[in-house]
């Protein structure tokens, strides 16, 4: 019986609909050893011994890891797949799937929470109450500002009505944007430089890939308006954190709201932790009860489909394998 390794911690349960999906398809569900550090490639390779498919978290699937395994499918719980070497997986005939369409509402809500938090001064006002200091410093009003969405995929589109409900003008940059959606939603599409120069808030909603690494850097931060805000619920690789710290310290940026970082967990010596104008989350923007359930089921269903000869097109990253791929 083919074996599926369920890596994501919340999947370590004896009863769950995702298990029903896999087991009814004739697949066995197993878990990593307790305490196994899957960030260590040697440990990950050991845990993948005898495994045919994996429901993956943030552990890295390098060419070396893939070569040492017999994996047929990597099913990522989420939409980011930058921890997977997709070209190497494709060369080895490993299908990579994501759980598209399961967590965009959760990410959008988290981005809005970060935005409201920094505009209302929550990074420092919360701690002032704890210390008995009640500083009455006025902050800018959010209503009437312009938010620039960098990326207008599922999450970016989910942001639009939420932003407009707060009284924000919405502009967006995305070379692959759905122009009909933008037009019908009152969203003006523009170049990245135009967005950076015009937006009071820049919110990132695009994947991490080679061309997007450090997209937000000293130059692009310099293009942003003085007193503007950066929100990142996408990937830490998109932002040059040293340049961001400089912009926050100098006052060029009013604040930042971050759910993702270059290194996770964020090192305790990171200068970001010394700033009171940064509101941070531990990479959980896409996690709520509804998305957790839907993500687990879809991750399992994609594996079951592939095992039973169906091709989950909307979830497959390396679609070029279709036609030649067999379990």
pLDDT digits (tens, 9 = 90+) for 40-55: 999 999 999 999 999 9
State yes or no: cis peptide before 266, omega within 30 of 0: no
Quick one: which H or E segment has residue 173? strand 169-173
Helix (H) or strand (E) segment spanning residue 198: helix 192-198
In this structure, of 8-12, 63-67, 146-150, 298-302, the range with the lowest mean pLDDT score is 8-12
For the chain, which residues make up each domain, given as ranges? 3-102+288-321, 104-280
Asked if 95 and 306 count as a contact pair (C-beta separation under 8 A), the reply is yes
- Which positions are annotated as active-site residues? 235, 264, 283
Which H, E and C letters describe 20-67, residue by residue? HHHHHCCCEEECCCCCCCCCCHHHHHHHCCCCCEEEECCCCECHHHHH
Whether the CB-CB separation of 237 and 208 falls below 8 Å is answered with yes
The mean pLDDT value for 121-148 works out to 95
Phi, psi of 169 (to 5 degrees): -85, 135
* Averaged pLDDT, 84-91: 98
Query: How confident is the model at residue 239, as a pLDDT?
Result: 98
**CATH (residue range 104-280):** 3.40.50.720
Strand 201-204's sheet: what is its strand order?
188-189, 169-173, 146-150, 201-204, 228-232, 253-258, 278-280
The answer to whether 140 and 227 have CB atoms below 8 angstroms apart is yes
pLDDT attached to residue 123: 87
Q: What is the pLDDT of residue 213?
A: 96
End-to-end CA distance of the chain: 13
Q: Read off the pLDDT of residues 287-323 as tens digits, 9 standing for 90 and up.
A: 999 999 999 999 999 999 999 999 999 999 999 999 9
Q: Which CATH superfamily is domain 3-102+288-321 in?
A: NAD(P)-binding Rossmann-like Domain (3.40.50.720)
d(CA 281, CA 304): 33
Query: How large is the average pLDDT for residues 221-243?
Result: 98
Q: Residue 11 gets which letter from DSSP? A: G
Residue 229: pLDDT band (50, 70, 90) is: very high
Burial of 250 (0-12, 13-18, 19+ CB in 10 A): exposed
| Average pLDDT score over residue span 132-157 | 97
- Give the residues across from 202 on adjacent strands: 148, 230
Of 15, 18, 96, give the one whose Cα is nearest residue 297: 18
Residue 17, C-beta contacts closer than 8 angstroms, at least 6 positions apart: 293, 296, 297
Q: Is the pTM of this model over 0.95?
A: no
Look at phi and psi of residue 73 and say left if phi exceeds 0, alpha if psi is from -120 to 50, else beta: beta
What token pair was written down for 33?
A: 């050893």
The pLDDT mean for the chain works out to: 97
> Is residue 173 within 8 Å of 195, Cβ to Cβ?
yes
Q: For residue 82, name the pLDDT band (cuts at 50, 70, 90).
A: very high
Mean pLDDT of all residues in 77-94: 96
Give the other-Cβ count within 10 Å of 243's Cβ. Answer: 17
Identical topology for domains 3-102+288-321 and 104-280: yes
């Amino acid at each position: 019986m083919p074996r599926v390794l369920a890596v994501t911690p919340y999947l370590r349960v004896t009863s769950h609909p995702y298990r029903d999906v896999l087991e009814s398809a004739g697949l066995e569900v197993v878990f990593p050893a307790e305490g196994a550090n899957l960030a260590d490639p040697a440990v990950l390779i050991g845990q993948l011994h005898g495994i045919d498919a994996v429901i993956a978290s943030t552990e890295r699937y390098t060419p070396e890891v893939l070569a040492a395994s017999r994996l047929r499918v990597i099913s990522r719980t989420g939409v980011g797949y930058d921890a997977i070497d997709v070209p190497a997986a494709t060369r080895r005939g490993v299908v990579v799937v994501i759980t598209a369409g399961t967590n965009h509402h959760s990410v959008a809500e988290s981005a809005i929470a970060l935005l409201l938090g920094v505009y209302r001064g929550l990074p420092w006002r919360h701690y002032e109450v704890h210390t008995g200091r009640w500083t009455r410093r006025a902050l800018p009003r959010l209503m009437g500002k312009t938010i620039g969405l960098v990326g207008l995929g599922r999450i970016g589109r989910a942001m639009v009505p939420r932003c407009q409900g707060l009284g924000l003008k919405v502009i967006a940059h995305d070379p692959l944007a759905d122009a009909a959606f933008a037009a019908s939603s009152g969203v003006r599409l523009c170049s990245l430089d135009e967005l950076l120069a015009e937006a009071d808030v820049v919110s990132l909603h695009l994947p991490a890939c080679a061309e997007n690494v450090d997209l937000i850097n000293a130059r692009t931060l310099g293009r942003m308006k003085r007193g503007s805000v950066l929100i990142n619920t996408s990937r830490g690789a998109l932002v040059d954190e040293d340049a961001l710290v400089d912009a926050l310290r100098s006052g060029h940026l009013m604040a930042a709201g971050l759910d993702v970082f270059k290194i996770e967990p964020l090192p305790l010596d990171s200068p970001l932790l010394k700033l009171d104008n940064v509101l941070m989350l531990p990479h959980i923007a896409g996690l709520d009860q509804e998305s957790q359930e839907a993500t687990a089921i879809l991750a399992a269903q994609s594996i079951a489909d592939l095992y039973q000869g169906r091709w989950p097109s909307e979830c497959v990253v390396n679609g070029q394998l279709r036609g030649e791929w067999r379990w």
